[in-house]
Structure 1
Amino acid sequence: MALAMKAQASSLVAGQRRAVRPASGRRAVITRAALELKSPPYALDALEPHMSKQTLEFHWGKHHRAYVDNMNKQVAGTPLDGKSLEEIVLASWNNGQPTPVFNNAAQVWNHTFFWESMKPNGGGAPTGALAEAITRDFGSLDKFKEEFKQAGMTQFGSGWAWLNADKTGKLSISKSPNAVNPVVEGKTPILTVDVWEHAYYIDVQNRRPDYITTFMEKLINWDAVAQRYAAATK
């Protein structure tokens, strides 16, 4: 199971089950806390001028929140109730025949991973083992950026572009539609960019290439990506 998802799931997990002492003649009641919306690791205006507060208010505050709320409603009272986010995503993927829960659960996971892929004053260049791997597998940082941007630009309709790492440290780029992520395909993502229109339309309207360029040059949290890379290759 992908290490990136394990780390991610730990930040958004179901609450502990709590047994309620039964009254005489009654069965014990088990309550399960719902999964909660996790805030981005920065203020909603911290990515300006590259990503506006208004975008975060709608994208995180409304879209991401709706995925969490809908998922909680869908799993309530089912065998998935009380499971971790990771378990819900993998179970609802259902070996490539996703159940209705999958779209909301995977979007919860994808968005939290996306927020944590950015930081104020981001961009620049990676260092250390990650930088060496990018040069080895793509030829240069600039060539990586070209390929990653191309993946995001050519994802038809809604979806995501991803940078993945295997246990040997080899890097690869992929793209996926809608809520699908590399984890359900057995891969370990270490970076993503959201190319659903709601991710950028307030700021740049339909100019997806400009949005991806800004993400790569001004927003990527290379420290977080490097930590994920190190975890993936342990």
Structure 2
Amino acid sequence: MAYELAPLPYDYKALEPHISSGTLEFHHDKHHAAYVNNYNKMAAEQGMADKTIEEVIKASFNGDAAKSQSGLFNNAAQAWNHTFYWNCMKPGGGGAPTGALLDKINADFGSYDAFKEQFVTAGTTQFGSGWAWLVLDNGTLKITKTPDGVTPLAMGQTPLLTMDVWEHAYYLDYQNRRPDYEKAFVENLINWDFVAQNLAAAA
């Protein structure tokens, strides 16, 4: 089953001034589209076109996030990661969540501010390309980071939120100032409704 490049869930200009329309156009229409196209081609060539992308990710993971992955895994994971990432943002987002999600964050991290600090630190300290994640792992919220295209899906964790820290996610707008992008993401862009839905679905 071919994996389709879904349109952004908002207009190209919707996340300005935090992420520009130029960044979204290049990021979604070029980078994400290339991962989707490469994944579909490789899945067909390797006889896995009838599997879901989640099944392909799990089947092609080599078991060690620190080691190089196959082309099939990298493109499958990046296609999935980006679709997930777009939904982690919304216009007028950010700030602290509410309700059961905030209660869970307070229970597992001590406070929203402690979560925020750990999440931003994960993004800042990811050397080179990668992702910062909020995941549910055996019933507990955890912050993790992954290199390149690696996704927590492959390691049995449930992704709830991600922040892309590949340079193409922010360089047109922030150049080398990754922490400024991360601050804008947390304070102005996080779609907590999406995160809460992911948590509720995993419960």
State the shift of 1:47 in Å: 0.7
Structure 1 residue ranges (4+ consecutive) displaced by more than 3 angstroms after TM superposition: 94-98
TM-score (norm 2): 0.94
Partner of 1:229: 199
TM-score (norm 1): 0.82
Identical amino acids, percent of aligned pairs: 60
State the shift of 1:101 in Å: 0.4
- Give unpaired runs (5+ residues) of structure 1: 1-13, 15-33
Alignment partner of 2:84 out of 106, 109, 113:
113
Alignment partner of 2:57 out of 81, 86, 89:
89
Secondary structure of 1:76's aligned partner:
helix
Structure 1 residue identity aligned to 2:194:
A
Alignment check: 8 A CA contact 1:165 1:190 kept: yes
Q: Distance in 1 between the 2:45 and 2:96 partners?
A: 47
Alignment check: 8 A CA contact 1:37 1:65 kept: yes
Q: Distance in 1 between the 2:54 and 2:179 partners?
A: 31
Partner of 1:206: 176
Q: Distance in 2 between the 1:45 and 1:103 partners?
A: 29
State the shift of 1:81 in Å: 1.7
Check if 1:50 corresponds to 2:18: yes
Partner of 2:189: 219
RMSD (CA atoms): 1.3
Q: Larger Cα Rg: Structure 1 or Structure 2? A: 1
Partner of 2:101: 130
Secondary structure of 2:83's aligned partner:
helix
Count residues in correspondence: 200
Partner of 1:75: 43
Alignment partner of 1:177 out of 113, 133, 147:
147
Structure 2 residue identity aligned to 1:129:
A
1:21-77: per-residue Cα shift (whole Å, max 9, x none)?
xxxxxxxxxxxxx32111121111111111100000000110000001111121224
State the shift of 1:228 in Å: 0.5
Show the 5 A alignment for 1:130-149: 130-149=101-120
Structure 1 residue identity aligned to 2:4:
E
Alignment check: 8 A CA contact 1:114 1:193 kept: yes
Alignment check: 8 A CA contact 1:40 1:115 kept: yes
Partner of 1:164: 135
Secondary structure of 1:163's aligned partner:
strand
State the shift of 1:94 in Å: 4.0
Check if 1:59 corresponds to 2:66: no
Q: Distance in 2 between the 1:105 and 1:114 partners?
A: 14
